[in-house]
Structure 1
Amino acid sequence: MQEAKLIRGQRTTAHEIAFTGLFAALIAVGAFIKINIPVQPFPMHFTLQFFFVLLAGYVMGARRGAACVCVYLAVGLAGIPVFAAGGGPAYLIRPTFGFLIGFVAAAWITGKLTALRPGAGMAWRLFAAFWGMMAYYVCGMVYFYGISNFVIHMPISWKLVVINCFLITVAEDFVLCVLAAAVAKRLMPFGECL
């Protein structure tokens, strides 16, 4: 009996490792999948990274979803070029690195809110993704402001940060929230085996 429980526990751990690796890889690949939507008067351009971050939160849950993103960040900071513009520890002083940190918050919040109402419909999943997106933007904008003004000494105002780092890109990311919330319904049962 004890041996059966141990084997079952090891199988769960193997599934967790496999899913963590899978989502870390999908987030890395998502950085290089660029989608252009020629909507007039403002064309939309985005990658699928954020989409996979949200799916990690939905499928893996808060703790495991955030762990997937942490694995992705560790691989990139170790020097493997999985970030959109390369990799390595020097990435830490790029003003946009805060958005990568924001991925951790987005996956955690999306997973946490989803777990509050298991089996909820599209509206709740979209609500969870929306707040994950807001956490992503807060982390990214605060980091962008701090690194720009206090580390690399290229002063920027909060107004410019909000315009350049939020208003210009939030519509595309909201589209990804909608897509992730729709796709999550099919994928979330796979997370139940963890």
Structure 2
Amino acid sequence: MHGPASPGWLLVALCAATGAYCLLRMRSSDETQRRAAGDEALMGFGMAVMAVPGSAFTPPAWVWPAYAVLFGGAALRALWVARSGTHHLHHLVGAAAMVYMAAVMTASPTAGHAHGGSGVPLLTGGLLLYFAAYVLVSGVRLLPVAGAAGSAATGSAAAASAPAWGDRPELARACRLSMGIGMLAMLLTI
């Protein structure tokens, strides 16, 4: 991406850590969670590589078209899987945003949007709105529900029934939130 180096490296670290956690979530016993974690790991690592500051590494010209093909395939897979549940539509939008950013980088690898006009292109603006709304909704979903903390059981029976740390839904939501923030930051820089 074309932003300053320090925030770029922070974004790389955030996305790589998120991708690594998603890889660990793939060890879940729940097949649906494993598949979603795999999609999210691909997105996290793809975003980490894309966010490497241009001052540190300038990729060869073939990288961005390869990204477009890779995430185009991920978008097609998300579209296919979305038949079984609408929660996969977010993966479709995320993969399509990656294809879009790769296409922008292919068209203008050093200058971002070089359209000659002022303002934000319509597609970039739409994606920014989507991911801003996604981040806000995801953040609200992470807030504790009143009374949930007081009703938690204590003792070894509660510990035995608690999900494994990789299966905890709040950690998966936090993972998705961090990727949404990362996508928002990346879209702001193109």
Structure with the higher fraction of residues in helix conformation: 1
Task: State the TM-score, normalized to the length of structure 1.
Answer: 0.32
Say which structure, 1 or 2, has more relative contact order (CA 8 Å, 6+ apart).
2
Structure with the higher fraction of residues in strand conformation: 1
Task: State the TM-score, normalized to the length of structure 2.
Answer: 0.33
